[in-house]
Structure 1
């Protein structure tokens, strides 16, 4: 191979690696929690943290004062620190006294090794204050907002060509670039670049003349400086790849950023160019192998010790709260069974529901109920995903009136309504009509303003209407869903739930959603397993399938006999009000109305208890039961409400096992709970499926909340009060910013005085033999990588049970990772 070609291939690989280090995000109406460090999972968590600090000035940990407060408050005990030191390895460890001395000395963060030439060199900034860097981000961000606009912006960018080409044309047509950025000669330099992305990228990487490792560090640093749009572009690429295609939008954005950097370097003097290359070479070489803990060399390494001790303290409390010492109870048929999502909010309703009626057995699984589904309404809009972001739809559930003529009429009506809505939006944001819209529409718009101001609107936004007729077909072929397909789906659903016998007369599948108004991040409170949608539709489809005689006959051939007396119904839990709505209750046979009434009575009692439990964290103490419910119902309609509920804040663990492990125990709404019967899964297939989907999704949620607290300036969405939605459903910007704000808003994790989420990596506790856990990890390499590199911890509860009598705390808590 030509040496020049080999070098160019290495440089292109460096560009690709930098793009893949960025995690994807989804549009606002499909917002799901994402592990923002997913692209760095091949590194240990400590090594990734060091790289983020050096390349982006980003800290992955809380400040030293946080851990000192946990120590002084008794949250972290000496044995927690000793356990962590012992688990770290045989190297000499610092004493507890030395660790405390350094902790009390405060933060000593490793400096950022390198940054953009506009930020790092005073010769290119008007006053040496970084204004040029801010101007580059502002100019690029605003262009991205126009380019990716979804029919909201007044002036849109040309999308006929790729992002880089459109930007290049825009810059060439502008005469204000030099003035905007504050550097003379920039536009002339940029105009000389090729218009095609790959040609430009080849020239840029060649002219910058950095070795591949340094180029990767530079590219990663540039993307971190514009993390919002970089994540959006990576999301477009991710979804294209998941659908079997390809896209290079993140690569195009990086080409734009490299073009700015290249022009700045070219315009700098020789000494500045030399210093610039030196800093990026140093950045490429400055990583350290953090496969073990750096126990003595730097404060960052020691903060990881304290982070692990903080997590270990809570793990100890969690394990001590479980029913590990109780003898197994013989399985019996309950009066009522209710299946909930694994979402941590379900821990609260399950506990209170069982306390309200001892004849109710609750179970947990991912809230999309095993349906890789997209819902297609009677309109020209694309189908809405009702499944985890890691998956692609295999089934389309299409609304239908029952006839082709009826479908066409309804589709035309819906499309006309959408055109009117777009026209109103266009007038609302038009440069001239925006001033006359209210006067033109008169009382119609006045009523909307009055209604919304008095909280009379419908916070559910119409998503929770009861499902009508649905036509089920395969996403790829369009073929109708056959009876054999339904039987397979039903079999997989029941086995993944470890529910193959002892069916109750009433089986309720409860999806969940959150009703809010004027909330850009509404989807973040809905079901993450349903792609940021409410889960009632999935629950209803599965319930209908399990009630079909042909499906039950097929299940019987698979060894799963659902008694004739068992009826399956669906419901939806509103997590703002803690009320559960039964879907299609009119279809319930008369023979089951009594048991349904019993279930709804238990729901009412449980809802009251749950609202009392949530009153303190919601700062609603002192209200009576009726007033508390009324206030929460008001929050679903209040367009000024910034904290309708706390979502999944404070999530910290996942429990995979039988409900007997936790029944009657208060886990504080902090634990994802997935039912699993180790005795019915000798081949480990069910555990493998749980590892490959729900555990990874739970880890994504956990690390999204973690990052939004530890690095809110980078991975948090900022202040809701300053948000502006851009591009339709693209995302939000804060104030006069230009980069997208990703992650969770400040109000989702902070109550104005204290953090409502404690950053802990996910602890996964599994009631299975260690050998089966190891086998399931071998089959799910992505999860195995997360465990190996300490992005989460995992252990066998059966192993903990065997070591209960051991003398040391570390023996009682053998947590991998």
Structure 2
């Protein structure tokens, strides 16, 4: 039985549109044409012949859609008016059928728009697609969906309705992070007991301290495979010597410390005794070279007559240099470096490291030149304690700073050391090595329980993460008894740089697909010298997790250059003082790098800075796109194209009780961890147990599915031919039992 509404004087019923397929005028038209009967002007109920109605509207589908939509859906005013005009025409002439078809098409088009289908409730247009996607992700088939009763289905729709775009995005982020977390935790458990250097029962051949930087994970892994007797450690590369640095050729100081710190000490590089004359000559040569450079690049834009003559004279040379840059950038870069070294007189230097006994305390306004003996001992003690390196010293501990060099790159600072405010951390490594070699400092450290053997010699070095070159500091001071061992370590590092370059090539589209080690290193070095290269290196684009603990929990597994590796020995920290210091210092560094890449990836237009190709430097402090735009912040697309946006997963090798105490008394950690900027987990030092911290729940033991990992001979066996991020895998270790 169908019930219809008719606006005649005798109708006294409800004016609400009933649930019906046809309106009154449609029924009247059908009856007039099919039965030739007159209708009474009174309230009535009709039970028409449905077969006849179906027959009529199968031949007039457009008319049916217009009539049905007019009285059972909400239409915009312009469509409602047109529909009412057509419906009011009785009888309907056959020549008006195209008008019905046109209006039906307009209604159908409007219903596909976001503004259509406004009534509350569920409909095919608004509800079918979300339900379909949900069933896809949950693995629900059509038969199972049909069997769901109305009440559970309504609950599903209510849940979907509450999921705003922001909530849905957050859920997907959590799912993505959990997927990666399960892989990491599974690898940690599988690697339990396989990694070396849980203890130092045997004296290492060398100990190399690298920056915690995720880019250094690859070269550390390759170096340990080349020489298993080398122990690698990780720390923030300011190496606990924040200072203002003035190099031999520098006219101004540079702050080499985290951005949240303001140094109160200045360290200078001075010519060695007897090298003063050579230093003066070098200074003149250096200023003359800079003057010539300024003349070529600046004077041509200031003086009309002078610039014309200068450009005419320099044109042949500039053309030759431009052609060489395009055809052979690496060879031109190497030639330029050799010419610069020949032109400027080489000078052996020392550090003005130790403050005068009567020097006043340093301040922000008036820096103290050098550190006092006590300050040096304090900084060396904290540095070694953070590493867990308080005994078992090798004969050659090496402290490795890092930075990046590239051509025509306004974002070069973003590739440098984050712990040194986007600058090179080589001076920090050199300073800390010099401090640890001083007899007076070693005496003070011995009184504090850190006994550095007499045959132990610290060396500072610098790793260029872009071209894989390593520079060494103060080699003239290395004892003769250590030089043969140092030469062997340098050869191992040289091989590791080749392997690191080989692994990095897999991420570059323009790199050779299956390069040899030498070919890979040549390609990487060529990128660093190519002034047209928008991607000299990928920076931190693969960062995803951080490990704070002994090297044994990560050594022996492939982490795909995605992990910050921070050394810490929980057995040397009974009161939690060291881990608290590490969390407060390294937590903001890791979070800053991770979030910088996260926001630049999820919304590059808002939080990033667009394409590097169109950037122009503005005022020597920012970039703008083209010739007219706002100053852009964040990272360019060329640095985040392959980044998987997720929050940093931090795994700490320490008990949950101790971490809880630290968390409760440190507001900065409550801000970082409690508000979800970092994801914190705890690895028990004495077992495979892992606990995950939830700000609203506390610690929850991880009970994920444990799956065995494959084992490969070397890293290249796993990453060869692969460009996408790879899951962890075990690397075969000497004397280790692999889980297969």
TM-score range, shorter chain: 0.5 to 0.7
What's the CA shift for 1:585?
Answer: 2.8
Between the aligned partners of 1:637 and 1:506, the Cα distance in structure 2 is 32
After superposition, the C-alpha distances for 1:45-64 in whole angstroms (9 at most, x for unaligned) are xxxxxxxxxxxxxxxxxxxx
Q: What is residue 483 of structure 2 aligned with on the other side? A: 593
What's the CA shift for 1:347?
Answer: 1.1
Say yes or no: does 1:616 pair with 2:506.
Answer: yes
Q: What is residue 262 of structure 1 aligned with on the other side? A: none
What's the CA shift for 1:676?
Answer: 0.8
Between the aligned partners of 2:198 and 2:271, the Cα distance in structure 1 is 49
Between the aligned partners of 1:722 and 1:361, the Cα distance in structure 2 is 44
Between the aligned partners of 2:387 and 2:135, the Cα distance in structure 1 is 40
Relative distance call for 1:471 and 1:614 in structure 2 (3 A) is same
Say yes or no: does 1:296 pair with 2:296.
Answer: no
Between the aligned partners of 1:478 and 1:737, the Cα distance in structure 2 is 44
Q: What is residue 382 of structure 1 aligned with on the other side? A: 252
Q: Return the match for 1:743 from 630, 634, 645.
A: 634
Q: What is residue 326 of structure 1 aligned with on the other side? A: 193
What's the CA shift for 1:303?
Answer: 1.5
**8 Å Cα contact 2:673/2:679 also seen in 1:** yes
Between the aligned partners of 1:296 and 1:800, the Cα distance in structure 2 is 44
Between the aligned partners of 1:646 and 1:460, the Cα distance in structure 2 is 24
Relative distance call for 1:434 and 1:708 in structure 2 (3 A) is farther
Q: What is residue 457 of structure 1 aligned with on the other side? A: 333
Aligned length: 530
Between the aligned partners of 2:301 and 2:183, the Cα distance in structure 1 is 54
After superposition, the C-alpha distances for 1:467-513 in whole angstroms (9 at most, x for unaligned) are 82222355634354222222122112111211100001111111112
**8 Å Cα contact 1:720/1:745 also seen in 2:** yes
What's the CA shift for 1:734?
Answer: 1.2
What's the CA shift for 1:434?
Answer: 5.8
Q: What is residue 399 of structure 2 aligned with on the other side? A: 509
What's the CA shift for 1:77?
Answer: 9.5
What's the CA shift for 1:541?
Answer: 1.3
Say yes or no: does 1:726 pair with 2:618.
Answer: yes
Q: Return the match for 2:207 from 334, 337, 341.
A: 337
After superposition, the C-alpha distances for 1:145-182 in whole angstroms (9 at most, x for unaligned) are xxxxxxxxxxxxxxxxxxxxxxxxxxxxxxxxxxxxxx
Q: What is residue 180 of structure 1 aligned with on the other side? A: none
Unmatched 5+ stretches in structure 1: 1-64, 79-92, 103-294, 751-755
Relative distance call for 1:429 and 1:733 in structure 2 (3 A) is farther
Relative distance call for 1:544 and 1:97 in structure 2 (3 A) is farther
Q: RCO greater where, 1 or 2, for CA within 8 Å and sep 6 or more?
A: 1
Between the aligned partners of 2:157 and 2:208, the Cα distance in structure 1 is 52
What's the CA shift for 1:95?
Answer: 11
Residue 636 of structure 1 aligns to a residue in which SS? helix
What's the CA shift for 1:775?
Answer: 3.0
Relative distance call for 1:477 and 1:612 in structure 2 (3 A) is closer
Relative distance call for 1:298 and 1:656 in structure 2 (3 A) is same
What's the CA shift for 1:683?
Answer: 2.4
**8 Å Cα contact 2:547/2:565 also seen in 1:** yes
Q: Return the match for 1:370 from 236, 240, 244.
A: 240
Between the aligned partners of 2:337 and 2:682, the Cα distance in structure 1 is 41
Q: Return the match for 2:650 from 764, 769, 783.
A: 764
Relative distance call for 1:388 and 1:479 in structure 2 (3 A) is closer
Q: What is residue 457 of structure 2 aligned with on the other side? A: 567
Between the aligned partners of 1:799 and 1:495, the Cα distance in structure 2 is 17
Relative distance call for 1:796 and 1:410 in structure 2 (3 A) is same
Relative distance call for 1:588 and 1:95 in structure 2 (3 A) is farther
Where do 1:652-663 residues align within 5 Å?
A: 652-663=544-555
Say yes or no: does 1:543 pair with 2:412.
Answer: no
Q: What is residue 606 of structure 1 aligned with on the other side? A: 496
Say yes or no: does 1:468 pair with 2:349.
Answer: yes
Where do 1:68-83 residues align within 5 Å?
A: none
Q: Return the match for 2:669 from 771, 776, 783.
A: 783
What's the CA shift for 1:298?
Answer: 1.2
**8 Å Cα contact 1:543/1:570 also seen in 2:** yes
What's the CA shift for 1:420?
Answer: 5.3
Relative distance call for 1:380 and 1:360 in structure 2 (3 A) is closer
Relative distance call for 1:425 and 1:783 in structure 2 (3 A) is farther
Q: Return the match for 2:410 from 520, 545, 551.
A: 520
What's the CA shift for 1:758?
Answer: 0.1
Between the aligned partners of 2:155 and 2:495, the Cα distance in structure 1 is 49
Between the aligned partners of 1:640 and 1:711, the Cα distance in structure 2 is 26
Q: Return the match for 1:308 from 166, 174, 181.
A: 174
What's the CA shift for 1:651?
Answer: 0.6
Residue 322 of structure 1 aligns to a residue in which SS? helix
What's the CA shift for 1:557?
Answer: 1.0
Say yes or no: does 1:439 pair with 2:312.
Answer: yes
Q: What is residue 584 of structure 1 aligned with on the other side? A: 474
Instruction: Report which stretch shifted further, 667-676 or 326-335.
Output: 326-335
Residue 239 of structure 2 aligns to a residue in which SS? coil
Q: What is residue 239 of structure 1 aligned with on the other side? A: none
Q: What is residue 448 of structure 2 aligned with on the other side? A: 558
Between the aligned partners of 2:333 and 2:440, the Cα distance in structure 1 is 43
What's the CA shift for 1:552?
Answer: 1.1
Q: Return the match for 1:715 from 607, 631, 639.
A: 607
**8 Å Cα contact 1:296/1:302 also seen in 2:** no
Relative distance call for 1:489 and 1:805 in structure 2 (3 A) is closer
What's the CA shift for 1:569?
Answer: 1.1
Residue 757 of structure 1 aligns to a residue in which SS? coil
Q: Return the match for 1:500 from 386, 390, 395.
A: 390
Residue 673 of structure 1 aligns to a residue in which SS? strand
Where do 1:15-414 residues align within 5 Å?
A: 296-323=162-189, 325-326=192-193, 329-332=198-201, 333-377=203-247, 381-401=251-271
Instruction: Report which stretch shifted further, 357-366 or 737-746.
Output: 737-746
Q: What is residue 113 of structure 2 aligned with on the other side? A: none
Q: What is residue 160 of structure 1 aligned with on the other side? A: none
Between the aligned partners of 1:405 and 1:805, the Cα distance in structure 2 is 60
Between the aligned partners of 1:98 and 1:361, the Cα distance in structure 2 is 57
Between the aligned partners of 2:386 and 2:258, the Cα distance in structure 1 is 16
What's the CA shift for 1:677?
Answer: 1.1
What's the CA shift for 1:601?
Answer: 2.7
Residue 461 of structure 2 aligns to a residue in which SS? strand
Residue 457 of structure 1 aligns to a residue in which SS? helix
RMSD of equivalent CA atoms: 3.7
Between the aligned partners of 1:585 and 1:408, the Cα distance in structure 2 is 23
Between the aligned partners of 1:641 and 1:670, the Cα distance in structure 2 is 24
Between the aligned partners of 2:135 and 2:687, the Cα distance in structure 1 is 28
Residue 180 of structure 2 aligns to a residue in which SS? helix
Between the aligned partners of 2:492 and 2:436, the Cα distance in structure 1 is 24
What's the CA shift for 1:597?
Answer: 2.5
**8 Å Cα contact 2:546/2:650 also seen in 1:** yes
Structure 1 length as normaliser, TM-score? 0.59
Residue 344 of structure 1 aligns to a residue in which SS? coil
Residue 375 of structure 1 aligns to a residue in which SS? strand
**8 Å Cα contact 1:653/1:762 also seen in 2:** yes
Relative distance call for 1:519 and 1:95 in structure 2 (3 A) is farther
**8 Å Cα contact 2:681/2:690 also seen in 1:** no
Relative distance call for 1:591 and 1:723 in structure 2 (3 A) is same
Residue 674 of structure 1 aligns to a residue in which SS? strand
Relative distance call for 1:767 and 1:732 in structure 2 (3 A) is same
Between the aligned partners of 1:338 and 1:71, the Cα distance in structure 2 is 53
Greater fraction helix: 1
What's the CA shift for 1:339?
Answer: 0.6
Structure 2 length as normaliser, TM-score? 0.65
Relative distance call for 1:602 and 1:421 in structure 2 (3 A) is closer
What's the CA shift for 1:447?
Answer: 5.4
What's the CA shift for 1:705?
Answer: 0.5
Relative distance call for 1:460 and 1:640 in structure 2 (3 A) is farther
Q: What is residue 165 of structure 1 aligned with on the other side? A: none
What's the CA shift for 1:782?
Answer: 2.0
